[in-house]
């Protein structure tokens, strides 16, 4: 999560009538119907453990599958919001999980805004009336409103252990020979001397021709040396309509090519 310590204090939105203790928030939830009758022991222990460490920059909460971690995360999100932090975000892996989390929030009497399909479902988040549930993809892309206008002061990552793939995709540029044929060939030409220098040119050529199936790391020093040439070659691909994901990945990595790990296969 973001460093919360610098956001607390002067200037923070706060409301003395809103509890910041997550158990107190739960006790205010409506009862009956589809509401949650009570917190489970594991949920209570997790929330109390978090309260004891809530001033820390990063806190990991581990619960078994089916132990109700979504409820824990939602109560924490509402706690941060009630504390006065702006732009509190609850991140999920998929849109289906976003909607599932929204249903759990409603059972708690909470009314978060959703951010799906490049749009907010209402103005609650934008006007500072509630927190937002969205996807990892919405957070980790260069044109996201969460990267500028609505930079989060707290983020709850749902299923953080399963987020690696989403984050890797956000920070990966894929040059597919079937989509970017000319660029693929030109990159092979650029990288060829690197593999000649390290005595792997034959294997590199076999991989490029499809004879061998292997993944080869381009020596990092070579990427750094040829970064300007690589950048000039890749930049025009933003206009390729066959690869709608490229502009997003490029926005994350375009200024950092010299720091990227380049793998050819």
**CA gap 74, 77 in Å, rounded:** 5
211, HSE (Cβ side, Cα atoms, 13 Å): 6
The larger pLDDT score, comparing residue 79 to residue 179, is at 79
The 10s digit of each residue's pLDDT in 70-93 is: 999 999 999 999 999 999 999 999
pLDDT at 228: 95
Of the candidates 75, 130, 70, 124, which has an alpha carbon nearest to the alpha carbon of residue 97? 70
The domains of the chain, with CATH numbers, are 4-170 (3.40.50.300), 181-264 (no CATH)
Rounded distance, CA 105 to CA 36, Å? 10
Least Cα distance to 107 among 31, 163, 44 occurs for 31
**Can you give the length of the chain in residues?**
265
* pLDDT tens readout for residues 4-63: 444 343 334 445 578 999 999 999 998 877 888 899 999 999 999 999 999 998 999 999
pLDDT digits (tens, 9 = 90+) for 192-248: 999 999 999 999 999 998 899 999 999 999 999 999 999 999 999 988 777 778 888
E-strand ranges in 14-131 read 88-92, 113-116, 119-120
pLDDT at residue 160, as a whole number: 85
Q: Which two tokens stand for residue 233?
A: 């070659």
What is the distance between the alpha carbons of residues 139 and 157, in angstroms, rounded to a whole number? 11
76 and 156 Cβ atoms separated by less than 8 Å: yes
């Amino acid at each position: 999560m973001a460093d919360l310590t610098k956001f607390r204090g002067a200037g923070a939105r706060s409301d003395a009538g809103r509890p910041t203790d997550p158990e107190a928030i739960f006790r205010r939830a409506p009862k009956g119907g589809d509401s949650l009758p009570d917190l489970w022991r594991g949920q209570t222990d997790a929330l109390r453990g978090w309260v004891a460490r809530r001033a820390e920059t990063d806190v990991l909460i581990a619960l078994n599958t089916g132990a109700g971690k979504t409820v824990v995360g939602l109560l924490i999100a509402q706690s941060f919001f009630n504390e006065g932090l702006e732009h509190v975000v609850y991140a999920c892996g998929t849109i289906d999980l976003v909607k599932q989390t929204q249903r759990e929030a409603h059972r708690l009497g909470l009314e978060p805004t959703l951010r799906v399909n490049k749009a907010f479902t209402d103005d609650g988040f934008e006007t500072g009336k509630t927190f937002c549930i969205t996807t990892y993809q919405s957070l980790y892309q260069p044109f996201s409103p969460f990267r500028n206008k609505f930079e989060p002061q707290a983020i709850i990552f749902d299923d953080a252990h399963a987020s690696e793939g989403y984050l890797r995709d956000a920070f990966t540029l894929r040059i597919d020979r079937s989509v970017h044929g000319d660029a693929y060939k030109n990159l092979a030409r650029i990288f060829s001397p690197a593999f000649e220098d390290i005595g792997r040119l034959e294997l590199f050529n076999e991989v490029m021709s499809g004879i061998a199936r292997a993944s080869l790391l381009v020596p990092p020093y070579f990427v750094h040396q040829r970064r300007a040439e690589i950048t000039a070659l890749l930049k025009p691909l933003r206009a390729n309509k066959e690869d709608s994901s490229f502009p997003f990945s490029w926005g994350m990595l375009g200024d950092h090519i010299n720091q990227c790990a380049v793998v050819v296969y």
